[in-house]
Structure 1
Amino acid sequence: MIQAALSLALRSITQPRQVARWLIDLRLSREALVTGFALVVVINSLLFGVSVLLDPAPLPWFLARPAVYGGLQALSLIATLLGLYFGGRVLGGQASIQDITVLVIWMQILRALIQVLLLVLLPISAVLGGFLLSLTSVIGIWIMVSFVDEAHGFSNLLKSLGAIIIGLFGMAVVLSILLILLGIDPSGITANV
C-alpha cells in the first residue's frame, strides 16, 4: 500500500493529468471524501504540532493551539475547495465539487509527505531543507494547475491558472472575513510572518 501511494505521488509529478483523471474516476462516496478531508486536516495539524515542538519559536496564540490550528486549516481547505470550484466554473469549467475535493485531499496528502521529509531533513541541513521546500512549491503549482485543468476539462493550462487565481482571490476574501468574524486581526498575522 505504501509503495502504491509513493508510486502515485511520483506519477503526480510526471503525469498529473492522468493521476487527476484516475482520482476523479474513483467516484468516491461523499462519506469517503468527508473522512479523507478530516484525516488530512488531522495529519497536517499533527505534523505542524511536531514542527512547533522541534522549533519552539513564538507563535500567535491561534497557531500555538493544535485544535485552533486544525480548525483554521479546515476552514482554509474548505475555502480552497470552493475557490477552485467556483473559479473554474466562472471560466466555463465542468468539475463537480466532489472532483475538486478528491484532488485537494490528494494534494494535502502530498503536502504531508513533504512535511515529513522536511522534518527529517531540516535538522540535518537547513540548506537542503530550503531547497526541497522551494522545489516542491514549484512542483506543487505544476500539479495543481494540471489537476484543475483536468477536473474542469479546460485543456488549457493558462485558463486553469486563471481559475486558480480567481479561486485564490475569492478564498483570500472569504478567509479574511472569517478571521475578522472570529476576532483575529489579519494584520497581526502578517506581522508574525
Structure 2
Amino acid sequence: MKEQFFHLFGLTIREPAKAAEIVSNVRVDRITGWMILILAVTLNTLVYFLSTAIFPVPPEFAALPILTQPYLFWGMLCATTVIFVFAFYWIGRALDGQASFDAILISVGWLQYMRLAVQVAALILMIVAPALSRILTMVAGLYGLWVVMNFLKVVHGFDSYGKAIGVMILSAMGLTVGFSIFLSLMTAAVLGMS
C-alpha cells in the first residue's frame, strides 16, 4: 500500500494526467471522500502552524487573526477547499464536463495531500536553506496549476486544456466574489454592533 502511495505521488509529479486517471477511478463512498479531504486540510493546518511556531508570522501580519488562530485558518482553508470542490464540479459540468461529484471530491482530496507534501518539504528546506524553500514554494505553486489543469481535463473528459483553464479561472473568480460578499456582510455586521 505504501509503495502504491509513493508511486502515485511520483506519477502525479511526472505525469499528472495518468495520475488523474488513477485517482478519479478510486471508488470510495462520499462520506469517506469528505473525511479524506478534511484530514488533508487538518494536516495542512498543522504543518502551517508548525512552521509558524518555528518561524513566527512577521509582526505586520500578526494582527490578522486568520494567520495566527488555528481554528480560523482551518475554517478558511476548509471553506476554500470545499468551495473549489463544488465549483470544479458545477462549472465543469456547465462546460460539458462528465466528471462525477465523487471523482472531483477524491481528486481535490488527493491534490491537498500533494500540497501537504510541498509544505513539509518547504518547512524542512526553510530550516536548512531558506532561499531554496521560497524557490520550491514558488515553483510548486506554478507547477501545481499545471497539475490541477491536467486533473480537471482528465476527470471531466475535456478534449482540450482550454475548458480546464476555464474551470480554474471561473472557479477562482467565483471564490473571490463569494468571499468579497462574505467579508462585506461580516464587516457590516461588526460595524453595526459597535
Indicate whether the TM-score tops 0.5.
yes
Query: Radius of gyration: which is bigger?
Result: 2
- Alpha-carbon distance between aligned partners in 2 of 1:177 and 1:140, rounded to the nearest angstrom: 27
Aligned length: 185
Instruction: Write out aligned runs for 1:142-161 (5 A).
Output: 142-161=146-165
| Long gaps (5+) in structure 1 | 186-193
With the length of structure 2 as denominator, give the TM-score of the two structures.
0.88
Q: How does 1:84-123 map to 2 (within 5 A)?
A: 84-123=88-127
* Stretch deviating more after TM superposition (3-12 or 71-80): 3-12
1:9 is matched with which residue?
Answer: 9
1:31 aligns to 2:31 (yes or no)? yes
| Structure 2 Cα separation of the partners of residues 51 and 88 of structure 1 | 35
Distance 1:110 1:31, change over 3 A: same
For residues 156 and 119 of structure 1, the distance between their equivalents in structure 2, rounded to whole angstroms, comes to: 36
Where does structure 1 differ by over 6 angstroms across 4 or more consecutive aligned residues? Answer: none
2:77 maps to 1:77: no
Coordinate RMSD, CA, aligned: 1.8
Q: Verify the 8 A CA contact 1:79 1:175 in the aligned structure 2.
A: no
Q: Which moved more, 1:175-184 or 1:21-30?
A: 175-184
The separation in 1 between residues aligned to 2:51 and 2:27, in whole angstroms, is 34
Note if contact 1:86-1:167 (Cα within 8 Å) is conserved in structure 2. no
Q: Which structure 2 segments of 5+ residues have no match?
A: 190-194
Q: CA deviation at 1:59?
A: 4.7
In the TM superposition, residue 164 of structure 1 has moved relative to its aligned partner by 1.0
**1:4 offset after TM fit, Å?**
2.7
CA deviations on 1:119-153 (whole Å, 9 max, x unpaired) are 11012212211221122112211110000001111
TM-score (norm 1): 0.88
Match of 2:170 among 161, 166, 171: 166
Q: Deviations over 1:3-43 (max 9, x none)?
A: 43222111012221221111111121112101101101110
